[in-house]
Chain A
Amino acid sequence: MPAPIRLRELIRTIRTARTQAEEREMIQKESAAIRSSFREEDNTYRCRNVAKLLYMHMLGYPAHFGQLECLKLIASQKFTDKRIGYLGAMLLLDERQDVHLLMTNCIKNDLNHSTQYVQGLALCTLGCMGSSEMCRDLAGEVEKLLKTSNSYLRKKAALCAVHVIRKVPELMEMFLPATKNLLSEKNHGVLHTSVVLLTEMCERSPDMLSHFRKLVPQLVRILKNLIMSGYSPEHDVSGISDPFLQVRILRLLRILGKGDDDSSEAMNDILAQVATNTETSKNVGNAILYETVLTIMDIKSESGLRVLAINILGRFLLNNDKNIRYVALTSLLKTVQTDHNAVQRHRSTIVDCLKDLDVSIKRRAMELSFALVNGNNIRGMMKELLYFLDSCDPEFKADCASGIFLAAEKYAPSKRWHIDTIMRVLTTAGSYVRDDCVPNLIQLITNSVEMHAYTVQRLYKALLDDISQQPFVQVSSWCIGEYGDLLVSGQCEEEDPIQVTEDEVLDVLEGLLASNLSSPVTRGYALTAVMKLSTRLSSVNRIKKVVSIYGSSIDVELQQRAVEYNALFKKYDHMRCALLERMPIMEKAAANGPTETVQTNGEAEPAGLEPKHPPTIIQPANQANDLLDLLGGNDVVPVISTAPAMKPASAGGELLDLLGGLSLSAPTPAPPIPMSQPPFLLDGLSSQPLFNDIATGIPPMTAYNKNGLKIDFTFERSNTNPNIAIITIHAANSTEAEMTNFVFQAAVPKTFQLQLLSPSSSIIPALNQGPVTQVIKVLNPQKQQLRMRIKLTYNHKGSPVQDLAEVNNFPPQSWQ
């Protein structure tokens, strides 16, 4: 058999191949030759063949048949054979193959070989791919070599020990005695690997950590020598003496100093020294500084040092080198939790990084920006973030949009700003927002009552431009459905109202229904919006036509809706108004925060004492199907979001039943109101700026006067909705004893709607000393005569009192 070709030849041949197929053919031919050569047990050329095999393995071709050959090479006496044999073992073998155990004996022998390079090979192989069994068997040998004076072997033994510890953690104690004088070595290679070994041991075991704390002074000394020693040619990298060792030591110091005052104190000086003396013009200097900064932030350093560290990071941010900027952003992200104020100082630089071309830097800057947003800088930051959202890659848009929503929710300075921001996000990145933002946004819009006209106008205008972004279109069509009347009547206060006719509004909605861009969900929204407009606009016939067309739509969901709405027109027309009334304010399903009643009342009485605090409305996501839920839910005029009283509205409820139902059971706690609402809550108590303060000339009346309790009604008209009358009751107690646990309940005929706000107090002081007030809002769309039945319960002189009364003497102006 001719001598197998050399590795060089093989490589040359393979390079001449012009196609993948040609290459494969050549490799297969050579593989076959190698295999037959192996079968012949040829010792001379085995190393050559294995070398070729490794080359083919690198290109991706199968080479497993060479595994045993590697073992044979390792067992050979020649250094050449051993060298390639061990390399092959490291590349081709691993602990999953049983074959590898056969190596154990060879390695053991080689660890005790007379030639240090053979020992080195053995250590290297054991340290790379030694399995736990092998490590257990050979740990003793490694430990012996750890104590040798030969620095070449010592450093390899140290790293091998790390591997052994990783595979078999129980053996860690075994290496402890050998570590005693590792740090007194002069050789930097040994020092370096020793520090790695110590680091590994400290990370794995807290006992070791406390044991090694006593090494801190020694480490500090070594570091000092490195910095002060001046130029030493063998360890020099770009003018700094062995930066790799410095970085390693700093890292170990970080682990040792974390959470420990004494060690941290011992390190303070040297850290300050490194931080101020290191050259920053080259990458090496920056690597050391970076490590120093991380260490300073992690240990219990003094505040001066921390400030120094953050300033270094700030300088990094201004560096031209992108790598440095990236690294600075990463570490600022880690420290922003603990040193928030210090990082805030660099906010403008961080925000500038958003405009960087580099994807990695942009991502880091975005994360950091979100972490830095707070109530003070929200406006400025949001501007930058919105600009970023406009121009960034699609992979960022989803994260950015979610981040913006969260930040806006937490820190929005005003409702209008909040709504503007969200609309901006929807119009720029509308297709990337998460699904739950649509209901969240709708809830937000419902809650900001005075912004309804403004919101719907802006949404309408934006909708005219672009109907392709589904979440945005869904929100817009919902709003147009709800507040279409405001749109058409041009009531916007915040900006110039636009002139929109009913037909134009319906055109837009019909366009959405017909467009190919709209998803089925969007169409559902649009159809329901059209239907809602039937009670708000006057072009009912047109709406009827639209709805009946979709009664035969292919989409089952759409068809069902259309058919049901059709039925609403035909058979249930009397219910249509009630069903399609304005949505009440929705509360978030999950209460986030303590359920204080402080928001609704001057007093912070827990909900239990005030059975008057009725259950809140928890409206689920506002899919249009909720319309039908309104029947079972509560029809309350949506105004201020204090805990609204509910009349459990059964669609034909009698007055008496309603009252009975009002002695309510478990009062659920008042919902937490989003923080941007405080002005409104307090207003609920006293004068309501929303409402027309000036008496519109409706005379007050006495509703009830018995047993010393006198209740007066005063009237106002709401100026957002002329159908709403606001009645303020004043309850006064002329007896000598106070009345406690005072509860006022009211019911009205079914064509009305009632909302009862919380009373100012449940105790009416004696002798007319201070009346208790409570606000009732009555919606009277059909302008019928107002009648009211009231029920009073209170404790007087220790005994409970209950009374029912009917109030019929309302002045005509209050309900016309």
Chain B
Amino acid sequence: MIKAILIFNNHGKPRLIRFYQYFAEDMQQQIIRETFHLVSKRDDNVCNFLEGGSLIGGSDYKLIYRHYATLYFVFCVDSSESELGILDLIQVFVETLDKCFENVCELDLIFHMDKVHYILQEVVMGGMVLETNMNEIVAQVELQNRMEKSEFVFISRM
């Protein structure tokens, strides 16, 4: 099970936070800070697996992360997930974002946080992997966006 998905930038500012297990708000922020602290220390040529920090849970949990340009994508998982598989999943997720936003960059994530959530919702649900086929995900997101747009009245909603 995936316990949490965190995306933050090189300075630790959160860009997307999704917890699949309940944590109180201040706990969540603390976890973000601690994770950033652990991950930012890592050199670029070491492995992408870290034993989980003390806050997010005991020895069963690992942090699997990937660093793309200015963003860290961190998945906190337990032992039921395959570590290498999660690495691939992160890659699939990022490529999906790329397709949806056309050459995605950090600004896209910043200004369209809700859209990123919707995309993530099609990939991971309840801490479990839902769909890994990129085209399928993109297609479904597109359809839903179109539904939203069709409800578009004179005033723009968001």
Contacts and interface: CB of A to CB of B under 8 A. Distances in A.
B17 interface: yes
A80 B151 contact: yes
A127 B155 contact: no
Interface string A307-322: 0000000000000001
Contact of A251 (B50, B82, B92): B82
A189 B130 contact: yes
B114 interface: yes
B84 A360 contact: no
Interface stretch (B67-75, B96-104, B141-149): B141-149
Contacts of B131: 155, 189, 192
B135 A234 contact: yes
B135 A51 contact: no
A33 interface: no
Contacts of A448: none
A87 B18 CA distance: 11
9 contacts: A47-B157, A47-B158, A58-B16, A162-B126, A243-B88, A286-B84, A322-B47, A323-B84, A360-B49
A361 interface: yes
B40 interface: no
Which interface residue of A95, A323, A357 has the most chain B CB atoms within 10 A?
A: A323
A284 to B, nearest CB: 6
Given A79-B147, A247-B82, A128 B20 contact: yes
Given A234-B133, A357-B46, A58 B82 contact: no
Interface string B104-128: 0000001101100110010001111
B9 interface: no
Contact of A84 (B20, B88, B114, B129): B114
Contacts of B148: 79-80, 83
A116 to B, nearest CB: 9
Nearest to B156: A6
Interface of B: 14, 16-18, 20, 22, 25, 28-29, 43, 45-51, 82-85, 87-89, 92, 110-111, 113-114, 117-118, 121, 125-133, 135-136, 140, 143-144, 147-148, 151, 155-158
Given A80-B148, A87-B121, A283-B88, 17 more contacts: A47-B157, A58-B16, A60-B14, A78-B151, A117-B143, A124-B126, A159-B125, A159-B130, A188-B132, A189-B133, A193-B130, A234-B135, A247-B82, A287-B88, A322-B45, A325-B47, A359-B46
Nearest to B148: A80
Interface string A351-374: 000000111110000000000000
A694 interface: no
A406 interface: no
B81 to A, nearest CB: 10
A42 to B, nearest CB: 12
Q: Chain A interface mostly helix, strand, loop or mixed?
A: helix
Interface of A: 3, 6-8, 11-12, 15, 44, 47-48, 51, 54-55, 57-60, 62, 78-80, 83-84, 87, 91, 94-96, 115, 117, 123-124, 127-128, 152, 155-156, 159-160, 162-163, 188-189, 192-193, 196, 234-235, 237, 242-245, 247, 251, 283-284, 286-287, 290-291, 322-327, 357-361
A192 B18 CA distance: 22
A59 B49 CA distance: 26
A663 B113 CA distance: 88
Contacts of B51: 360
Contact of A44 (B84, B88, B133, B155): B155
Given A283-B87, A323-B48, A325-B47, A192 B158 contact: no
B125 A128 contact: yes
Contacts of A58: 14, 16-17, 113
Contacts of B85: 243-244, 247, 287, 291
Contacts of A286: 84
A94 B25 CA distance: 12
A322 B46 contact: yes
Which interface residue of A7, A44, A115 has the most chain B CB atoms within 10 A?
A: A7
A196 B124 CA distance: 13
A189 B22 contact: no
A156 B137 CA distance: 13
Contacts of B111: 8, 11-12
Contacts of A94: 22
A6 B45 CA distance: 42
A290 B82 contact: yes
A83 B88 contact: no
B29 A284 contact: no
Contacts of A84: 114
A504 to B, nearest CB: 48
A234 B92 CA distance: 13
Contact of B88 (A3, A55, A234, A284): A284
A127 B125 contact: yes
A192 B132 contact: yes
B144 A242 contact: no
* CB-based closest 8 A-B pairs: A287-B84, A322-B47, A127-B126, A358-B46, A244-B132, A326-B47, A60-B29, A189-B131
Given A11-B111, A159-B125, A244 B88 contact: yes
Contact of A327 (B83, B128, B130): B83
Contacts of A237: 88, 92, 132
